[in-house]
Amino acid sequence: MTDEEITKLLFCCDEPCSADLAMVFGAANELDLARRTKRGVELYRSGFVPRLLVTGGGVLARTRPEAKRMAEIARELGVPAPDLLVEDRSANTFENVNFSIALLDNHGLLEHLASVILVSSEWHMRRVLLTVQASFSRPIRFICCPTREGCNRQNWTASEVCRNEVLNEAMLLEAFLETGALRSATGGSTT
């Protein structure tokens, strides 16, 4: 695959718009975790969403689940506890989504959910988008609003660290597509 093909495969980003909530995906890397959480809080404080769902247990979490740290950061940045949902059992993107669906259902929010902003690193957004599209049982509008910092479509080819991260994600996504664990979908994110 060329760099251009990888960029088209992985990276997606939409303009933020009003949604029922933002689902913020955890990360084993503390810097990425903080960036993702801050992006979710930015969307909340800008009035795009009335609540955040932070998701991540993390098999790589050293001391506590990623979502607990994310909730702490969000509260420090002014998000009140009643506007936070915390899913802290998941170990991967599939579990992030499935455990979050169960959490939304348990809180009586799933039935009326019409739109969700997805927050992660830009290189991770396509897998997140395909996973939510495959996992929710009815049509929901998903808006991809990745972090602006870190590895993104503009800089991933210029950094060895970012290049490795993106190439690993491309191989992983291709494996999921080839095995049928995920399937390419039309619609969703526009870019």
Q: Are 136 and 101 in contact (CB under 8 A)?
A: yes
Q: Give pLDDT tens digits for 49-95.
A: 999 999 999 765 567 899 999 999 999 999 999 999 999 999 899 99
pTM: 0.93
What is the DSSP-derived secondary structure letter of residue 54?
E
Q: What residue ranges do the domains of the chain occupy?
A: 3-179
Q: Are 52 and 41 in contact (CB under 8 A)?
A: yes
Instruction: Report the CATH number of the 3-179 domain.
Output: 3.40.50.620
Q: For tokens 């769902």, what's the residue?
A: 53
How far apart CA 170 and CA 172 sit, in angstroms, is 5
Contacts of range 186-191, beta carbons closer than 8 Å, 24 or more positions apart: 187/133, 188/12, 188/129, 188/133, 188/142, 188/144, 189/12, 189/13, 189/14, 189/125, 189/126, 189/129, 189/142, 189/143, 189/144, 190/12, 190/14, 191/11, 191/12, 191/13, 191/14
How far apart CA 51 and CA 104 sit, in angstroms, is 12
Q: Give pLDDT tens digits for 97-150.
A: 999 999 999 999 999 999 999 999 999 999 999 999 999 988 999 999 999 999
What is the DSSP-derived secondary structure letter of residue 14?
-
